Amino acid sequence: MSPGEDGLIGIPFPEHSNELLSHLNDQRRTGLLCDLTLTSRGARYPTHRSVMAAVSLYFRRLFGAEEGGGEGGGGFSVCQLDCVAPDALDALLEFAYTATLTIPSSGMRDVLRGAQLLGIQCVADACRDILGETAEAEGETAEEQTTQHMAAKRMVEVESGVEKASRRKTDRKKVKKVGLHHNNSLILNPPPASPVSHPSPASDSIRSLPSTQPPSPEQEELRLKAGQNGDPRSITQPGRGAALNGGLLHHWLQEPLRIAHPPPVAPLNDKLSEDDDMEGLDDGMVMGSTSIPVSVAERGATTSAVGGGRKRKSQTPQQCPVCQKIIHGAGKLPRHMRTHTGEKPFQCSACGVRFTRNDKLKIHMRKHTGERPYPCPHCPARFLHSYDLKNHLSLHSGARPFECPLCHKAFAREDHLQRHRKGHSCLELRTRRPRRGPELAEDGRGDGSRREHSNPLEALSLQAHSSAFLPHAVLDGGSGSGAGPPLLFPGDVERGRSLTLQALAQLGPHRLAGYPELFLRGLELRGGREAEGEDPGGTHSPAAQRDRWVDDVEEEIGDEEAEEEE
């Protein structure tokens, strides 16, 4: 390390990427951890969504919009790619996992088409270069070649910048040299600076981030122009069998919002249709999952681009090329990237502790300077952070706005409530009633007067917990009416609820332990960050959430108890 770099050590592991790829390829061959199956005309290719998203612009877009894509609940999906020939798809997959493209020269055209359709730019470039020498022999017109080449070249220049484009030029020359026919097959090593290359965790990669991001609105405009100036179908191969299916994929290249996905996914499709009316969906590409193929950032970007002449929006939201997360705020992406690279450029001169952010270092320095800028007005306590003071003030006020919906224990801090809920203590017995509504708390029936259960107390507990975990749609049949539900839940609406309650009761409390988060999310009782914007300090406040929940549960229990007394 150089003395001027503050002791920052960077230890390269040049073999890491190769080993990583090798292991992934092993996993693919054995089907291990494969969460995506590509099919082409009957052939099936198990693969990994993350790899495909990393290598293919198409899949990047297809999966990019999934909120928290990683937690997609093991969203196993099948992607039918009949528009890509099986051999070509196999070759492209091999390339994705080995960085080497091995194809018979006779299949070059199919691979080129596949690479174009799936947005694997470097492979398309390489194939085009090879075919460029034999294009006329293949029957492709010079005009088509020019159109493709120019469009691709512009995309390359926009995506990777002039520097990368020039690097690719030199690499293309290498490809031409390497691209010798061996036993009627070709082995291509694509240029390392291609958009497919994974970002290295070096700071340089941060500066070159745009190259790994989905196309910007300008790029979309270029694509649109490329389609408008010439025949949009010019990229396709007229007369070829795959042209029909490929047509919509090219459509995707030009108008990303129209990526085919299953029509029944109503809410998000509706959202899409607001932006861009959905046209006929492609039969050649069917996703088995409910993936929405346009990321948030892209949606904003594309709408501005597709709008045609509309001034493009600020590009403040940026997508992290590593975790695909959308980072809001100008200049925040480099800060976020340090969470991936582990880079901690800000070092405390007093104790040597390093931080990823300057503002954190400044706060840390207060420990050394003794500065505690947040004094408590009620006691001599002083704090390093404003939020520490805020927490502390709740002690003085005695406010415990965060109440457990199950055992009604109240906490001063939300994280303590969450910690409490993650434990199982509140799932044992419901011994407390809500703090609100003393008449209910003292109703004397909480001691287990359920006659129809062998273990009445447990049954009551389960009822309460089950009610707490049930979404509104099940609880009130979607009607939201306060009509007192009869004990045995007669009627169609109540039948589903009864069955659900029975099922939950059979699960037992311990089996329910993992569900509160899920169902409470369904109840929208948890005021997440996403709710803040819509409802600042309003009905999503902890107190409001608690009250709403209490209303729900009390209504449930009250109704049932009233029926019981009859």
Partner DNA sequence: CTGGGGACGGGGCCC
Partner DNA sequence: TGGGCCCCGTCCCCA
Which residues contact DNA (rule: CB under 7 A)? 314-316, 325-336, 339, 355-360, 362-364, 367, 381, 383-388, 390-392, 395, 409, 411-416, 418-420, 423-425, 528-529, 532-533
Q: Which is nearer to DNA, 400 or 436 (CB)?
A: 400
Residue 202 carries which DSSP code? S
SS (H, E, C) 443-478: CCCCCCCCCCCCCHHHHHHHHHHHHHHCCHHHHCCC
Minimum gap (Å) between residue 391 Cβ and DNA? 6
- Cβ atoms of 90 and 39 closer than 8 Å: no
442: CB partners within 8 A, 6+ apart: 433
Minimum gap (Å) between residue 62 Cβ and DNA? 22
Q: How far is CA 358 from CA 102, 347, 348, 361, in A?
A: 48, 9, 10, 5
184: CB partners within 8 A, 6+ apart: 104, 105, 106
C-alpha span between 140 and 75 (Å, rounded):
41
Minimum gap (Å) between residue 516 Cβ and DNA? 13
Minimum gap (Å) between residue 186 Cβ and DNA? 39
Per-residue buried b or exposed e for 49-85, using 16+ beta carbons within 10 Å of the residue's own CB: bbbbbbbbbbbbbbbbbbeebeebeebebebbbbbbb
Minimum gap (Å) between residue 168 Cβ and DNA? 23
Q: Which is nearer to DNA, 80 or 213 (CB)?
A: 213
To the nearest 10 degrees (0 to 180), the angle between helices 456-469 and 516-523 is 50
Minimum gap (Å) between residue 76 Cβ and DNA? 25
Q: Which is nearer to DNA, 238 or 329 (CB)?
A: 329
Q: Which is nearer to DNA, 145 or 418 (CB)?
A: 418
Minimum gap (Å) between residue 385 Cβ and DNA? 7
Angle at 360 between CA 356 and CA 365, to 5 degrees: 120
Q: Which is nearer to DNA, 78 or 395 (CB)?
A: 395
Minimum gap (Å) between residue 194 Cβ and DNA? 22
428: CB partners within 8 A, 6+ apart: 461, 509
C-alpha span between 518 and 469 (Å, rounded):
8
Residue type (1 letter), 540: H
Q: Which is nearer to DNA, 79 or 301 (CB)?
A: 301
Minimum gap (Å) between residue 412 Cβ and DNA? 5
Q: Which is nearer to DNA, 132 or 210 (CB)?
A: 210
Q: Which is nearer to DNA, 165 or 323 (CB)?
A: 323
Q: Which is nearer to DNA, 41 or 336 (CB)?
A: 336
Minimum gap (Å) between residue 541 Cβ and DNA? 9
226: CB partners within 8 A, 6+ apart: 147, 150, 151, 154, 254
Query: What DSSP string describes 209-260?
Result: GGGGSPPPHHHHHHHHHHHHHS-GGGGS-TT-TTHHHHHHHHHHHH-GGG--
Minimum gap (Å) between residue 5 Cβ and DNA? 16
- Cβ atoms of 556 and 475 closer than 8 Å: yes
Q: Which tokens hold the place of 475?
A: 């609880």
From 524, 485, 517, select the one nearest 501 (Cα to Cα): 485
185 forms bridges with which residues in the sheet?
104, 182
Q: Which is nearer to DNA, 88 or 426 (CB)?
A: 426
Minimum gap (Å) between residue 312 Cβ and DNA? 10
From 154, 155, 131, select the one nearest 144 (Cα to Cα): 131
- Residue 27: count other Cβ atoms within 10 Å of its Cβ: 17
Query: What DSSP string describes 376-428?
Result: -SSSS-EESSHHHHHHHHHHHHT---EE-TTT--EESSHHHHHHHHHSSGGGS
To the nearest 10 degrees (0 to 180), the angle between helices 57-64 and 243-254 is 70
Minimum gap (Å) between residue 228 Cβ and DNA? 25
Minimum gap (Å) between residue 400 Cβ and DNA? 8
Q: Which is nearer to DNA, 37 or 316 (CB)?
A: 316
**What length does the chain have?**
566
C-alpha span between 237 and 450 (Å, rounded):
73
346 forms bridges with which residues in the sheet?
355
